[in-house]
A and B are shown apart, each in its own frame.
Chain A
Amino acid sequence: MSLTHAFFAILRRDLILALRRRSEIANPLLFFVLVITLFPLGIGARPQLLQAIAPGIIWVSALLAAMLSLDSLFRSDFDDGSLEQILLSSHPISVLILGKIVAHWLVTGLPLILIAPLLAVFLGMPQPAIGVLLLTLLLGTPVLSLIGAIGVALTVGLRRGGMILSLLVLPLYVPVLIFAGNAVEMAGNGLPVTAQINILIAILLLTLVLAPWPTAAALKMSMS
């Protein structure tokens, strides 16, 4: 089996498995929507205030939702031993792991992007900002999955790994939050956002190339 085949085989398998457990897809999504609904209730529904903090709220919620969904990335495969099989494969493990991460992003990251316009309207975000929001989510959420995978791989063998996962992962999410949140805010003010978008693309490419390596190493460590 060639490497491309193996990659897509893992991708397909993970997607099929995810579709059987729909609640795993729905939970982070519901969390995302719920948290954003709570903000107007907590701070008051003044349109101007909401509009001002909308980019930050949406992105912080996306960060938390992404983190919440991370546990399902390796958990079931770790428990039933199929992760061990993947690690024993003759193909480069980092590529196979990348397949799993892509599948995970398709079922947890992509739905966030699809629901985001609705939430943006809830918060009264101006039209041009919504487009930029979707673009930043499209570029940013894969980064969240890729970086998060390192954290899960390090903690998947632990009984209470969930507690420490947020401490490992959230500080590393800071650059994405800063550039993405700022791009949306600038777009809302009618300012150009090419710089931020370019940086987000650079971060995405960098993590796409680099993140699978430590993830694979950490998984090997967790299995030993």
Chain B
Amino acid sequence: MSLQEFFAMGGYAFYVWTSYGICFVVLLANIVLPIVQRRQFLRQLAHKQQRQNL
């Protein structure tokens, strides 16, 4: 099976790859968002603490 055939998915490329794409984006967002938010939150807390220590 050639790479082109693989991506064509027997004519169902749009449906198959859209499904996998949406799934990937949603699942990735669920991991990345909490990490980013946590980093931000930690930075905020650190700033606050520094100000209090001064």
Asked whether the complex places CB atoms of A and B closer than 8 A, the reply is no
Residues in A lying within 8 Å of B, measured CB to CB: none
Residues of B within 8 A of A (CB): none
